[in-house]
A and B are shown apart, each in its own frame.
Chain A
Amino acid sequence: MTGRREAYVAGMQAVAPMLPGVVPFGMTAGVAGLDAGLGGELAFAMSVLIFAGASQIATAQLLGADAAPALVVLTALLINLRMVMYSASLAGHFAPLPLRWRVPMAYLLTDQAYALSIQRILRRHPGPQEHWFYLGAGLTLWITWLCATGAGIAAGSAVPPAWELGFIVPLIFLSLLVPAIASRPALVAAVTAGLLSVLGRGRPAGLGLTLAALAGIAAGVVTERMTRRG
């Protein structure tokens, strides 16, 4: 029984150093919802219903820009498409767990929870309490995220625009992007998507980003296949 608690606490401890980066991100997500004119309730509801910072901010921006609803949904789901990959990667390790575990685990799946959990699973032999470690990290992140969003909604409008706190958003994505470029095809994918996204900026809002990402993904696959053939 103590093994569960130890694993849970280890998950909380592992995620702790990430929280100072999560808090400003969550506050920014709250402020982005307010800035887009969604109101505090919906800005906070996004954290409960979506619970994914990048897509929450993109959704707020697109809704604020009066983009077509279908396009907003498509863009947000495309941004979160990496969750499918995380889900596939973790599924093998957590398959024996009952459904009452795997459904909440899916809801709590984030970049951070995935990265911490897969690191631990791959480094050690997968122990019987890995799901408690995952829960410790995931729940801590969830609570922190809701508090940070709430704080952003409560205090966000008090921050002077001259501080340019909005710049935090690309910086956070940048800190996730750099480790994601781990191979040459990934670099090609990033460069292609980034350049096309700059060129396609503007109306219709979000479509440029979506198409740029798809083109980048295609460029990565093509590069990988060409490299493999030599």
Chain B
Amino acid sequence: MVEAAWIVVALIGAGTLLERASFLVFGGRLQLPDVVQQGLRYVPAAVLSALVLPGLVQPGSDGLPDAARLAAGVVAALVAWRTHGALLTLVAGMATLWLLRWLGL
């Protein structure tokens, strides 16, 4: 199982290097169709959102979204929007989560 995991990681490494090298190394020889180029613009927003939202509305023991995580996520989103700072976003989100936990939420 662990050997299979090494192979998976090596394949991802090679594939990621190809993604990074695509235009930078192979240059003009790669021509993507318009619709693909257009789609590439929305990759960050779509992928990151798909990664973030399930983490923020993670259900607690009662099956409903965990209110403290949701609230911490909203605070962090506001901070990210106002400051565009990764560190401030982290601090605001974790501080809110810990405060709400300390209050018993």
Contact A52 B2 (CB under 8 A): no
State in angstroms the CA–CA spacing of A173 and B42 once bound together.
15
A10 interface residue (CB < 8 Å to B): no
CB contact list, B1-17 vs A, under 8 A: 2, 4-13, 15-17
Q: Which residues between 41 and 89 of chain A lie within 8 Å of chain B, taking CB atoms?
A: 42, 45-46, 48-52, 54-55, 58-59, 63, 69, 72-73, 76-88
Query: Contact mask B80-105 → A, CB, 8 Å, 1/0?
Result: 11001111011001100110010000
Task: Please tell me which stretch of A1-9, A102-110, A149-157 contacts chain B, meaning at least 4 of its Cβ atoms lie within 8 angstroms of it.
Answer: A102-110
Query: Given A69-B8, A167-B93, A224–B50 Cβ distance below 8 Å?
Result: no
Stretch at the interface among A121-129, A140-148, A212-220: A212-220
Q: Is A195 an interface residue (CB 8 A)?
A: yes
Contact call A177/B52, Cβ cutoff below 8 A: yes
**Contacts known (A103-B21, A170-B55); A190 close to B10, Cβ less than 8 A:** no
In the complex, how many angstroms separate the beta carbon of B61 from the nearest chain A beta carbon?
Answer: 14
A112-B80 Cα distance, complex, nearest whole Å: 16
Report the nearest A residue to B77, measured CB to CB: A174
Residues of A within 8 A of B (CB): 18, 20-21, 24, 38-39, 42, 45-46, 48-52, 54-55, 58-59, 63, 69, 72-73, 76-88, 90-91, 94-95, 99, 102-103, 105-107, 109, 163-165, 167-181, 185-187, 189-198, 201, 209, 212-221, 224
The answer to whether B39 and A197 touch across the interface, beta carbons within 8 angstroms, is no
Chain B contact residues: over half helix, strand or loop, or mixed? helix
Decide: A77 near B46, CB < 8 A? Known: A106-B21, A171-B76, A224-B38.
no
| Chain B residues whose CB sits within 8 angstroms of the CB of A197 once the complex forms | 49-51, 53-54
Residues of A within 8 A of B98 (CB): 163-164
Q: Which residues of B contact A (CB under 8 A)?
A: 2, 4-13, 15-17, 19-25, 27, 35, 37-57, 69, 72-73, 76-77, 80-81, 84-87, 89-90, 93-94, 97-98, 101
Quick one: closest A residue to B3, CB to CB? A42
Contact A172 B86 (CB under 8 A): yes
Cα distance, A217 to B45, chains bound together (Å)? 8
- Please give the distance in Å from B10's CB to the nearest CB on chain A: 6
Are A69 and B7 in contact, with the CB atoms below 8 A? yes
Instruction: Report the number of A-B residue pairs with Cβ-Cβ less than 8 Å.
Output: 259
B57:A173 contact, CB within 8 angstroms: no
Give 29 A-B contacts (CB < 8 Å), ordered by A residue: A21-B87, A50-B12, A55-B12, A58-B51, A63-B8, A69-B7, A80-B19, A82-B40, A85-B40, A87-B20, A88-B22, A88-B40, A91-B23, A91-B27, A105-B24, A107-B20, A164-B97, A167-B69, A167-B72, A167-B97, A178-B80, A178-B89, A186-B42, A189-B42, A192-B46, A193-B47, A193-B50, A214-B46, A215-B46
